[in-house]
């Protein structure tokens, strides 16, 4: 048997690390879905053991030694699948470099801090009291600044944080994109809210038994291509999607008895993430080429299925009769009225409950606050005031308290600073990918007839299967002919909310 | 800070090993409850990684070195809790000795094999096709023989397997007990079946909605003392109980819409196991003194709650009105008739559905088949025939196919050879413990009034809290004044089924 190349050995080690991570993912999923309350403490110990073991392998001498050897060997490699090798070596080098710059003590400090901060945040939100969370946020921002300094950056510290979620992204580029979007989205939102206000509210209240919601959700998820032999749907307080192995993608949603669309759009959104995960090359599971490339691309998949497919007329022409069959109380509601309700625009305080027209305004605000916090332009104590002012400028109202304002999202308490921009990147990418996909006759015809196979195949080939072969912006160019471009998204919002 | 003793360091390491095992337990539980079918293969890889890591720690130089040092230190120890230290050192020495005899590669091989075999078994049982499971069973029996040879034994290879489940037990002693029991149980069974046949069947068929069964099951499990903040109940094909951490005990059951007692007795049985697990000393989780001592003692707890408590007149005097409330179709059935049905004796093919009178006959059969398989007297291909012949001799009928015969139980597919005798040991121990407990006035009074606290406390003190401090037979002597004795069990069967 031929001796394994350093690259092959590296792949083997990466697969073992992925195995450990995937065990942690199973425990994490169980924690959100089924864990009894008294077991929380021990679960934390289980998870930290697994992540410590995986971390030790990634940062250990053996992995780094193999990587150096493989990079050296690579210069002389003439193998046909050179893009795959190159991409994996590039991403591993990047990951090891980032990991090596953070001292182990800092990692431990961060995980201890965020464990306490998550608890403090949920208490602070419950009491709508930013002051009690402020000391934690101060430490978290301090840590973020230190990490940014250790990782290094060209223009501003926020770059170093953002690129952990969106490979190759620059804060300035995102800021420019957001400056283009903000006045336009704000105008569309304002008009959309006006139009919605002028329209009488259609009462579609009734009882939507959870068991029947589950039937509809599963039928729809299966129909758009989610493979239930390699995944499932469970119930949690906050919907999410997590991957426990190359053929094991778990979605979750939450149910409201008075409104079946809440759980359904949770499923459509998470199934969009899930289709991406199920579309990755299983043989490369654990290697960068078998992993999603960035959050901005991931979110494009969830938003594409949730909004572009799931809120369209064509979609409901297919599915409304089935919904009426399952929920007889819908008999009183015409399809057109149902659709108008579905796309009602309103100014609301909570991002996760926001409609498409107003959603990005929440993101612009938080991106701005975060960026200024990290640069030092804004101090932690000033956050509630900055939030309220920014919110008023965008929405015309002031949140009634911190819980409805700057405390609403969990991300800061988890140390997730630099994350938020990817939500709007996802919206913009989704519109651009959907527009390109629909230019293909088979995709357009499929959507008209309620067949989602051609669209999924288009996404499989251009977005899912490459994994992390290319940087997100290169992926966008390859898939659509250009880098992330706000035009298709703005056109989509105008079409949907202003009918123009 | 004082330097840690070798014993303390050993405890720390044992807790880390337990952490790894408990991660595997989470993945194993998920595999039985929620795992999508395509994920089976990767799950096997995840489980084998975790078990290999745990095995490497137990058999590694560090653990063994610490153990030797701790044993040496122990000679001079005068600490007050010396029984605890001694028991832990005794059990670790035993475990390390057993583990060290099994090469790590064999452990990984076994865990990968059994993960696949479980899947193959469930397919084979569905199609009632032993031939498709035979190749897996051949590998599993081969592994069992190899392990027995590596562990070593005094009299026969089966000893080495049995003592993995029942510390200190000998095949010959069990065989002698079974020889005493078999003719007596067979006679009671024969008469009990005759009596039941002579009695008209009471129709309690109706619809028992699963959601209502769940309500009753949870109320009863909670009432006998199961802590739902440290455990839960899910649904599986084959009920079981598994512990995922010191405060996380998962029970499962299965539901039949035509008979609520099927899921309820599944829960009572598994809750009996669960009460034992929840009664162990949490601070010693991961140490032998915080672990159940044997399967024969474990099964005594499940059978005690299932049969001695759950099938008694007093129990149903309390719970029958609630059952009637939840299932109005029971209104037509008098309590006395319901109880008679509950304790109806029949010759049936499936062990887990067998009544108390005929249950042990299934065990005698499988114990005999297993013992001969391991000794090499019987080959895997001959199992279906041997099963059918043995079954006919005991029950007077032949199973109609493999699903109703030798494929009915999951244990072989999990590598659990040497396990079955503990079911009958459990029955015998249960009767003996229950007889002793009821001699206490508070326990007897509690049972009469439907208060299970005094019984649970008696079991907590005498059976649960000792963990593995004493050998099972020593535990029985301490709790009841004598070693495992068939008399109370035979008396119980005669009283219940022959009214004498």
Condensed to tens digits (0 to 9), the pLDDT of residues B317-362 reads 999 999 999 999 999 999 999 999 999 999 999 998 899 999 999 9
The average confidence (pLDDT) of chain B is 95
Beta bridge partners of A129: none
pLDDT for B162 equals 97
Average pLDDT over residues B95-102: 89
Cβ–Cβ contacts within 10 Å for residue B199, how many? 11
Q: Please list the residues that pair with A233 across neighbouring strands.
A: A251
| Confidence band for B38, pLDDT divided at 50, 70 and 90 | very high
pLDDT score at A31: 92
- Residue bearing tokens 């959603």: A359
Q: How far is CA B37 from CA A193, A249, B412, in A?
A: 46, 12, 21
Q: For residue A202, what pLDDT is reported?
A: 84
pLDDT beyond 60 at B231: yes
Query: DSSP letter string over A270-319?
Result: HHHHHHHHHHS-GGGTTSGGGS---HHHHHHHHHIIIIIITTSHHHHHHH
- Predicted local confidence at residue B351, as pLDDT: 92
Out of B19, B50, B248, closest to residue A36 by CB: B248
pLDDT tens per residue across span A230-258: 999 999 988 999 999 999 999 999 999 99
Backbone φ, ψ for residue B231 (5° rounding)? 175, 175
* C-beta separation of B159 from B331 below 8 A: no
Reported confidence tier of residue A298, pLDDT bands at 50, 70, 90: very high
Q: What is the pLDDT of residue B80?
A: 65
**Share of residues in chain B with pLDDT > 90 (%):** 89
Interval B465-481 mean pLDDT: 98
Task: Indicate if the pLDDT at residue A14 is higher than 60.
Answer: yes
pLDDT at B482 over 90: yes
Please check the confidence at residue A269 and state whether its pLDDT lies above 90.
yes
pLDDT confidence tier of residue B2, bands split at 50, 70 and 90: low
State the first-to-last Cα distance of chain B, in angstroms, to the nearest integer.
66
Helix or strand (DSSP H, E) at B317:
helix B313-326
Interface test with B, best of A29, A57, A248, A290 (most B CBs within 10 A): A248
Whether the per-residue pLDDT at B471 is higher than 60: the answer is yes
B27 contact residues in A (CB cutoff 8 A) = 23, 26
Of B19, B42, B234, the CB nearest to A45: B19
* pLDDT recorded at residue B190: 96
Q: What is the pLDDT of residue B127?
A: 96
Binding-face residues of A in 236-295 toward B, CB within 8 A: 244-248, 285
d(CA A301, CA A275): 8
- pLDDT surpasses 80 at A1: no
Q: Residue A148 corresponds to which tokens in the numbers above?
A: 């940014």
User: CA-to-CA distance for A91 and A89, rounded, in angstroms?
Assistant: 6
Catalytic positions of B are: 270
State the DSSP H helix or E strand holding residue B472, giving kind and residue range, or none if neither: helix B472-480
pLDDT in tens, A276-288: 999 999 999 999 9
- Quick check: helix, strand or coil at residue A243? strand
**What local confidence, expressed as pLDDT, does residue B78 receive?**
64
Ranges assigned E (strand) in A371-472? none
Listed as own residue / partner, the contacts of A249-258 with beta carbons closer than 8 Å and 24 or more positions apart are A249/A274, A249/A277, A249/A278, A250/A29, A251/A221, A251/A226, A252/A32, A252/A33, A253/A217, A255/A210, A255/A213, A256/A208, A257/A207, A257/A208, A257/A209, A257/A210, A258/A205, A258/A206, A258/A207, A258/A208
Residue B362 DSSP symbol: H
Contact state of A228 with B46 under an 8 Å Cβ cutoff:
no
Q: What is the pLDDT of residues A369-399, one digit of tens each?
A: 999 999 999 999 999 999 999 999 999 999 9
In this complex, do A227 and B53 lie within 8 Å of one another by their Cβ atoms? no
Catalytic residue among A166, A270, A299, A356: A270
Beta-carbon separation of A26 and B22 below 8 A: no
A211 CB near a chain B CB, below 8 Å? no
Long-range interactions of A318-323: CB distance < 8 A, separation 24+: A318/A450, A319/A216, A319/A220, A319/A450, A322/A216, A322/A219, A323/A216, A323/A260
In a mutational test of the B interface, the residue from A15, A21, A23, A25 whose CB has the highest number of chain B CBs within 10 Å is A23
Res A500 pLDDT > 90: no
B237-B240-B244 Cα angle (round to 5): 120
How much is the pLDDT for A72? 92
What are residue B99's phi and psi, to 5 degrees?
-65, -40
Q: Looking at CA atoms only, how far is residue A31 from chain B in angstroms?
A: 10
Query: Where does the pLDDT of residue B306 fall: very low under 50, low under 70, confident under 90, or very high at 90 and above?
Result: very high
Are A228 and B36 within 8 A, CB to CB?
Answer: yes
Nearest to A43 among B39, B231, B245 (CB): B245
B106–A contact, CB cutoff 8 A: no
Q: Exposure pattern of A248-287 as b/e (b: 16+ CB <10 Å)?
A: bbbbbbebeeebbbbbbbbbbbbbbbbbbbbbbbeebbbb
**Region A471-476 average pLDDT:** 98
Q: Is the pLDDT of residue A99 over 60?
A: yes
Do B26 and A22 count as a contact with CB atoms less than 8 A apart? no
H or E element at residue A421: helix A421-438
* ipTM (interface predicted TM): 0.91
C-alpha–C-alpha distance, residues A452 and A27, integer Å: 33
Mean pLDDT, residues B458-466: 98
Per-residue confidence at A105, pLDDT binned at 50, 70, 90?
confident
The mean pLDDT of A190-202, rounded to a whole number, is 93
Cα gap A311→A427, rounded to integer Å: 14
**pLDDT confidence bin for B3, thresholds 50/70/90:** confident
Instruction: Determine the pLDDT at residue A77.
Output: 62
Minimal-distance CA residue of chain B relative to A283: B42
Across B3-7, B78-82, B165-169, B218-222, least confident range: B78-82
DSSP 8-state code for residue B244: E
Tokens of A253: 């949603």
Q: Is residue B101 predicted with pLDDT exceeding 80?
A: yes
Contact B245 A26 (CB under 8 A): no
Of B93-107, B156-170, B379-393, which range is least confident?
A: B93-107
For residue B471, the distance in angstroms to the closest alpha carbon of chain A comes to: 29
pLDDT of A319 > 70? The answer is yes
Q: Which residue bears the tokens 């229950």?
A: B434
Cβ–Cβ < 8 Å for B450, B207: no
Confidence band of B431 (pLDDT split at 50, 70, 90): very high
Most A CBs within 10 Å, among B210, B247, B274, B290, to test the A interface: B247
Q: What is the pLDDT of residue A128?
A: 96
Q: Report the distance separating Cα A302 and Cα B80, nearest Å.
A: 61
Question: Where residue B467 falls among pLDDT bands split at 50, 70, 90?
Answer: very high
Is residue B386 helix, strand or coil? helix
Residues of B in contact with A247 (CB under 8 A): 36, 38-39, 41-42
Please state, rounded to an integer, the average pLDDT across all residues of chain A.
Answer: 95
For the question of residue A270 being annotated catalytic, the response is yes
**Taking CB atoms and an 8 Å limit, are A229 and B50 in contact across chains?**
no
A36 lies within 8 A of chain B by CB: yes
Residue the block writes with tokens 């991403």: A91
* Polymer length in residues for chain B: 500
């Amino acid at each position: 048997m031929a001796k394994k190349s350093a690259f092959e050995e590296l792949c083997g080690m990466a697969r073992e690390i992925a195995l450990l991570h995937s065990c942690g993912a199973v425990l994490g999923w169980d924690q959100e879905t089924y864990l009894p309350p008294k077991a929380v403490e021990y679960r934390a110990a289980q998870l930290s053991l697994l992540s410590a073991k995986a971390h030790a392998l990634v940062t250990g001498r053996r992995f780094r030694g193999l990587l150096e050897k493989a990079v050296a060997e690579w210069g002389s490699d003439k193998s046909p699948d050179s893009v795959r090798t190159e991409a994996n070596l590039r991403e591993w080098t990047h990951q090891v470099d980032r990991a090596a710059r953070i001292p182990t003590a800092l990692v431990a400090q961060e995980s201890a801090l965020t464990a306490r901060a998550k608890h403090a945040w949920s208490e602070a939100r419950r009491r709508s009291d930013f002051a009690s969370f402020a000391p934690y946020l101060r430490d978290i921002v301090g840590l973020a600044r230190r990490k940014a300094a250790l990782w290094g950056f060209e223009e501003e510290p926020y770059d170093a944080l953002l690129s952990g979620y969106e490979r190759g992204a620059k804060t300035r580029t995102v800021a420019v994109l957001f400056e283009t979007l903000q006045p336009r989205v704000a105008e569309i939102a304002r008009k959309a809210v006006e139009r919605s206000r002028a329209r009488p509210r259609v009462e579609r209240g009734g009882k939507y038994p959870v068991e029947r919601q589950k039937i509809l959700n599963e039928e729809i998820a299966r129909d758009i291509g989610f493979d239930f032999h390699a995944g499932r749907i469970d119930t949690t307080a906050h919907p999410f999607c997590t991957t426990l192995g190359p053929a094991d993608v778990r979605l979750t949603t939450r149910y409201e008895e008075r409104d079946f669309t809440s759980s359904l759009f949770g499923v459509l959104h998470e199934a969009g993430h899930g289709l991406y995960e199920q579309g990755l090359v299983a043989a490369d599971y654990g290697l960068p080429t078998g992993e999603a490339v960035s959050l901005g691309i991931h979110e494009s998949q969830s938003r594409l299925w949730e909004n572009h497919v799931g809120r369209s007329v064509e979609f409901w022409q297919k599915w409304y009769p089935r919904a009426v069959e399952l929920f007889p109380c819908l008999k009183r509601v015409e399809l057109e009225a149902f659709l108008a309700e579905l796309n009602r625009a309103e100014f609301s305080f909570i991002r996760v409950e926001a409609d498409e027209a107003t959603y990005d305004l929440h993101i612009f605000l938080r991106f701005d606050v975060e960026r200024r916090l990290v640069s030092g332009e804004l101090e932690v104590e000033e956050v509630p005031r900055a939030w309220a002012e920014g919110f008023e400028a965008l929405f015309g109202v002031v949140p009634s308290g911190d819980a409805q304002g700057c405390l609403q999202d969990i991300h800061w308490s988890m140390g997730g600073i630099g994350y938020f921009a990817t939500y709007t990147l996802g919206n913009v990418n989704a519109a651009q990918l959907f527009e390109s996909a629909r230019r293909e006759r088979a995709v357009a015809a499929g959507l008209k007839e309620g067949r989602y196979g051609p669209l999924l195949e288009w996404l499989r080939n251009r977005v899912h299967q490459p994994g992390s072969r290319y940087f997100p912006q290169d992926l966008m160019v390859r898939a659509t002919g250009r880098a992330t471009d706000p035009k298709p998204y703005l056109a989509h919002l105008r079409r949907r909310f202003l009918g123009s």
